[in-house]
Structure formats: structure tokens, C-alpha cells
Structure 1
Amino acid sequence: MRNPHDIIRKPVITEQSMNDMAEGKYTFVVDKRANKTEIKKAIETIFDVSVTKVNTMNMKGKLKRMGVHQGRRANWKKAIVKLSEDSKQIEFFEGM
């Protein structure tokens, strides 16, 4: 297994992700090659919580322009992780 910190890149902090925290759902940017079982094991290892469900989405990078030149931001993968009812909350998101 790869290093869990290589699989979980960073949290996604938006209004929608903050509203989902009330339901025990947390959103992360993850490695594009990671599958659901690797993501589940990485979250459980890093934050010492119990994960019940993992949803993943491949996000397409936005088209950006600078004058007449066009480019595209990098594609990325998003994972929404649902924690079990008896599991504690992730401390990283406390106070946000």
C-alpha cells in the first residue's frame, strides 16, 4: 500500500462541503489513481475514524485564457467520505 498522505492530497473547503459535515460527510482531493478501498484505508489511518462509504468523482479542469492563449487547469479526483455514526469527527475541520 502507498503512503496514506500521498493518496489524500488536501480537504475541499466550500459551503457545500461545510453543510455536508453536519451529516458526517467530508470532502477531499485525492490522487487520480487511488481507488475507493485505498481512500477508505488512508482516511482511517490518518484520522483514526471509521468510514462507511466513499463516493469518488473525476473533475475536469477548467478552461482558462490569458489574452489569446488558452490553457486548461489539471484534472483532479474528488472523494466524499461518510463516517460511521459512532465515529468521532475529524479534528482538522473543527472550527471552520
Structure 2
Amino acid sequence: MESTVVIRRPIVTEKASFATSKSNQYTFEVDGKATKEDIKKAVKKLYNVRVLSVNTSIRKARDRAMKFGLVTGKLTKRAMVKIHAEDKIELF
């Protein structure tokens, strides 16, 4: 897979920002078919950093109540990428 297809977007939440500052771990939304090796190669290529480990999780689609009925969210795959202590990714 191409690296621009593998990584969809960085996830910037309070929990993800805490992990970034505490343990140099960045969170990305990735393609559902991407493997850990694909993610590792894509982060190395796009951000030019040394990747130590990749952890993935799949967030299931949840139903939410709206005023016009139930809306189903989308299934997403997240990757938590830990990089070398000397490297840094500038997201913004």
C-alpha cells in the first residue's frame, strides 16, 4: 500500500496529546486493511522518523441518537506509533 493511503489522518485528542508528551507515542487513523508493517513503513517515509513499535486497535461503529432517529458511526482503525526519543513529529 502507498503511505498516503495507509495513514488517513492524525488523531489529536486530550488522551493522544498526553501520550505524545509522556511517551513520544503518536496516534493515527489508518486504513482498515493496513498491517503493522505497512503503518511502520508509512510513518518512516512520511515523517522521516525511527519507529520503535506499532499498536493497533479497531473502534467499532456505534449508534447515536439524533433528533431524526439513530445514526450509525463508522468503523475505524487506529494505530499508536511509538517513535525514538530523539525524533519528533510536527503535526501543526
Scaled by the length of structure 2, what TM-score is found? 0.90
User: How many residues were matched structurally?
Assistant: 91
TM-superposition CA deviations, 1:61-83 (whole Å, max 9, x none): 22123346323111000000000
Q: Which amino acid aligns with 1:14?
A: T
Q: Which amino acid aligns with 1:31?
A: D
**Residue 79 of structure 1 pairs with residue 59 of structure 2:** no
**Residue 53 of structure 1 pairs with residue 53 of structure 2:** yes
Identity across aligned pairs (percent)? 33
Q: 1:92 Cα shift?
A: 1.6
What 5-or-longer segments of structure 2 have no aligned partner? none
User: What SS does the corresponding residue of 1:44 show, helix, strand or coil?
Assistant: helix
What 5-or-longer segments of structure 1 have no aligned partner? none
**What are the residue-to-residue correspondences of 1:1-96 with 2, within 5 Å?**
2-22=1-21, 23-67=23-67, 69-86=69-86, 88-93=87-92
CA RMSD, 1 decimal: 1.3
TM-superposition CA deviations, 1:27-77 (whole Å, max 9, x none): 000000001000000000000000010000000122123346323111000
